[in-house]
Structure 1
């Protein structure tokens, strides 16, 4: 019924450290978003609310580069290259989604929701390819 930790790691292509980092960032973001929505943080903009998510993306990208270098030094060229490019493309798409969402909340751009969510479809397609390769 529930997925094991090994299955989640294989499907998402993230290490446990990256998942913990993402969970902390999303928890911090959700607390800040509620405070912003309830007008407790009146002077804060949406950009400051999204800072934990952007920092998490930067740290995950740095961690992916470190993992790529280590795997490449261990002569796992094909696995390292596939993991690196799929992870970087997912991170870039998630970053673009968060950026567009923040701009939509600030009323900076007149994007529709389908245009804003379109990077997530790329991430879902990459995850679908990874899921087919796992089993």
Structure 2
């Protein structure tokens, strides 16, 4: 099942621009990954393959800070802090996962086991259950209110 843009924005807390940036980074990453794995670009390191994700995280962080400052200036202090905290938490967990995975691919060390590498993803999934459950509950309430008895 694919999500609509409205559902993605509501679930992730990202703006549509940020979702677009992340999807573009995923597209460029996929091409670079295919080139790296197939050996068509021998000078391409794993750090260079992950550059689109790092750049997208940086752009999303800058955009989130600007949005939060504007919300703060408009008097929405609580919303500004919550939005900043939520998006930076999501982006930081994603960034830690990317860094650990890239480090594992470059160094091939035994100290970085895959349970440790994927732990930020599982924390992120647990955190994403909060808005998912909230939107599910709101949808059920709308359904109950709209049905005749």
Instruction: Give me the TM-score of the superposition, normalised by structure 1.
Output: 0.93
- Partners of 1:8 and 1:95 lie apart in 2 by 19
Deviation sequence 1:48-83 (CA, Å, 0-9, x none): 111111001011000110010011111111121111
Alignment deviations for residues 76-112 of structure 1 (CA, whole Å, 9 cap, x no partner): 1112111110110111110000000101111253211
Deviating 4+ runs (over 6 angstroms): none
CA 1:42–1:12 in 2, change beyond 3 Å: closer, same or farther?
Answer: same
Higher relative contact order (CA 8 A, sep 6+): 1
Count of aligned residue pairs for this structure pair:
135
Aligned partner of 1:49 in structure 2 is 49
The answer to whether 1:74 aligns with 2:74 is: yes
Distance apart, 1:133 and its partner CA: 3.4
Structure 1 alignment gaps of length 5 or more: none
Distance 2:4 2:98 in 1: 28
Structure index of larger Rg: 2
Question: What is the alpha-carbon root mean square deviation over aligned residues?
Answer: 1.4
